[in-house]
Structure 1
Amino acid sequence: MSPAPARRMIAVMVLIPVVVALALWAFAWPAARTAPRDLPVGVAGPAAAAAAVEDGLTRHAGAFDVHRFDDGAAARDAIEDRVVYGAVVVGAQGTELLVAPAASPVVAQLLREAVTAGAPADAPVRVTEVVSLPEGDPRGSALAASVLPIALAGVAAGALVTLSGLRGARAAVTLLGAAALVGLTATALAHSWLGVLDGDWWAEAGALGLTVLAVGSAVAGLAALLGTPGVGLGALLMVLIGNPFSAATSAPELLPEPAGALGQLLPPGAGTSLLRSVAYFDGRASGGAALTLTLWVVLGFTAVLAGARLRARTGTTPPQPEHPAPAPASAPAA
């Protein structure tokens, strides 16, 4: 056997376990280490009673980031503005726990267990859902399941643009059109048919389309700079890293560091946060996620255009077909 095929065989045998190990690390590690880490929660009520509740929450070192509010109305506003995930309100009528399953069903359940577990039997804690999930998706599983298809759509768009030989402005326009159509199609399915989203229809389509565009432009940009291997690198970053770190099934504050923070800097995580805001919270707290996605689009398009110019300068742009020159007429026989 010649050396070249042998090296390729060894490379494949080594590469497959490495990819599997990376995938298991990216998916299993966050799931195995899920726990609250500086999770924003609120406490409202008279100073003495609120201080007692706060002491109970801070007893779990590093688990909760407690915000104090004057009353239950202020706590509700903070939940609706996505400042906190929930709040404990202490008043004359007892203790009330305010939760927002739309922000994270897992966090809502965690707060129920943490607050109601220690409540006396004669004074149970009332639980009120401030922002609920729609009837079509009461557990939030459909929204969480949408992250991977949206990421794959973006990777497919970037890969197809690259493999089709589209460069520069043509590649950018194609990515923009594909992302817009994916956003419209996904919203028609998720909102109009399945009923798992209940926000503004066009805002949801814009959030989904922007997420696809961010992923697709990043993949196409890497391919424009690195060639075909850039598609693989982009897919690795967006699917194997971005998908499990997106916190779509939990919350960024429940993932181990730095997975939670890193996930929100990648398009799948930022897109999930943006979609939650526009679908359930009337667009509140959507600015940071929208800015993150926009920056990915700008960087991706810049790389696409820069890659096209670089290829043109170095002469690596595929030559355009030319019409063959007509064959010279044969000389008349003598």
Structure 2
Amino acid sequence: MSATPTRRMIGVMLLIPLIAALALAAFAWPAARVAPHEVPVGVAGPASATAPLQQGFERRPDAFEVHRYDDEAAARAAIADRDIYGAVVATPRGPHLLTASAASPAVAQLLRDAMTAQAPEGTEAQVTDVVATPAGDPRGSALGASMLPLALAGVATGALVSLLALRGVRAVGALFGAAALAGLTATALAHSWLDVIAGNWWAEAGVFALAVLAAGSTVAGLAALLGRPGIGLGAMLMVLVGNPLSGVSSAPELLPESVGPLGQWLPPGASGSLLRSVAFFDGNAALGPALVLGLWAALGLAAVTAGARRAVPAPEGPETPSPAMRPARAA
């Protein structure tokens, strides 16, 4: 057995455990460290009545970011605007918890547990889900599971554009066309068939398409600049980093504090936040994640264009005829 195949065999044996360790760390570490970090919540009512409620949230340092509202209507408006995940309203009959499971079922459950723990023994806390998840996805699990297929679709789009050697206008056209068709297909499945999202159909299709375009353009752009290694780098960025840090299955504020905000600057995290805003909150708080996705798409497309220009060979000078083709001189 020659040295080269032996080295390749050893390389495979060492590389696969490394990839498995990276994947396990990327997906398992955030899930194992789920805890609230500055989760925005509200208390509503007279200051004298809401003081004990606010103190209840502040018993866990840095877990909640408490906002005060004059009444229940103001708290409901803040939830609908995605300023807060929920609020506790002081009423004559006791605290009334407002949640928004469509924003994050995990945070809604966290608030219910906190409310139950503070309620006097033998009493049942009053809870109202202001913005609920649709009947087709009561636990919000389907929405969380949709981000990985979107990331994979984007990676596949960018990889195919690169491997098929599409350049310039053809590469850009393939990225836009594939993203648009993927958006229509995903919306038909998630909205029309599974009933797991409930917003404007065409707006949701635009979100899905923009998510695939941002991921696909990034992979294709990295491949245009770095060659085939760029495909692997883009895939790792979208799948091994962006997907577990997206916070879609929980909430960005429930991820480890050092990486929660980072995930919202990557396409999977921005896609999840944008889809929630469009599907359940009439587009409120959609501008930020839309700009993030647009920036990734623009940078990726610019890299694809730049790579195509570098790949164009320089024009050759006039070909010098070979001696055999030169006309014979007169004797």
Shift of 1:105: 0.5
The 2-side partners of 1:47 and 1:124 are apart by: 24
Q: Give 5+ residue unaligned stretches, structure 2.
A: 316-324, 326-331
Query: For residue 205 of structure 1, what is the aligned residue in structure 2?
Result: 205
**1:140-188 C-alpha deviation (Å, 9 max, x unpaired):** 1111111111111101100111111101221011100000000001101
**1:59-114 C-alpha deviation (Å, 9 max, x unpaired):** 10110011111111100000000000000000223210000000000110000001
How many aligned residue pairs are there? 316
Query: For residue 318 of structure 1, what is the aligned residue in structure 2?
Result: none
Superposed, 1:1-334 pairs within 5 Å as 1-121=1-121, 123-312=123-312
Does structure 2 retain, via aligned residues, the 8 Å contact 1:95–1:124? Answer: no
Aligned residue identity for 2:117: A
Shift of 1:282: 0.6
SS of the counterpart of 1:246? coil
Shift of 1:314: 6.8
Aligned residue identity for 2:176: L
Identity within the alignment, %: 66
SS of the counterpart of 2:57? helix
SS of the counterpart of 1:40? strand
Shift of 1:4: 2.2
Does structure 1 retain, via aligned residues, the 8 Å contact 2:158–2:175? Answer: yes
The 2-side partners of 1:7 and 1:239 are apart by: 28
The 1-side partners of 2:123 and 2:46 are apart by: 17
Aligned CA-pair RMSD: 1.4
The 1-side partners of 2:4 and 2:257 are apart by: 42
Aligned residue identity for 2:302: T
Does structure 1 retain, via aligned residues, the 8 Å contact 2:222–2:231? Answer: yes
Aligned residue identity for 1:77: A
**1:165-213 C-alpha deviation (Å, 9 max, x unpaired):** 1012210111000000000011011111111111000000000000000
Shift of 1:2: 2.7
Q: Give 5+ residue unaligned stretches, structure 1.
A: 316-327, 329-334
Does structure 2 retain, via aligned residues, the 8 Å contact 1:107–1:251? Answer: yes
Does structure 2 retain, via aligned residues, the 8 Å contact 1:94–1:123? Answer: no
Shift of 1:3: 2.7
For normalisation by structure 2, the TM-score amounts to 0.93
The 2-side partners of 1:227 and 1:167 are apart by: 13
The 2-side partners of 1:259 and 1:313 are apart by: 43
The 1-side partners of 2:293 and 2:11 are apart by: 35
Greater mean deviation of Cα atoms: 247-256 or 116-125: 116-125
Does structure 1 retain, via aligned residues, the 8 Å contact 2:56–2:118? Answer: no
Q: Which runs of 4+ in 1 moved over 4 A?
A: none
SS of the counterpart of 1:245? coil
Aligned residue identity for 1:229: P
Does structure 2 retain, via aligned residues, the 8 Å contact 1:46–1:91? Answer: no
SS of the counterpart of 1:290? helix
SS of the counterpart of 1:103? coil
Does structure 2 retain, via aligned residues, the 8 Å contact 1:95–1:125? Answer: yes
The 1-side partners of 2:245 and 2:88 are apart by: 29
Shift of 1:312: 1.6
The 2-side partners of 1:5 and 1:258 are apart by: 42
The 2-side partners of 1:55 and 1:118 are apart by: 11
Aligned residue identity for 1:173: G
**1:268-309 C-alpha deviation (Å, 9 max, x unpaired):** 110011001100001100000000000000000010001111
Does structure 2 retain, via aligned residues, the 8 Å contact 1:253–1:260? Answer: yes
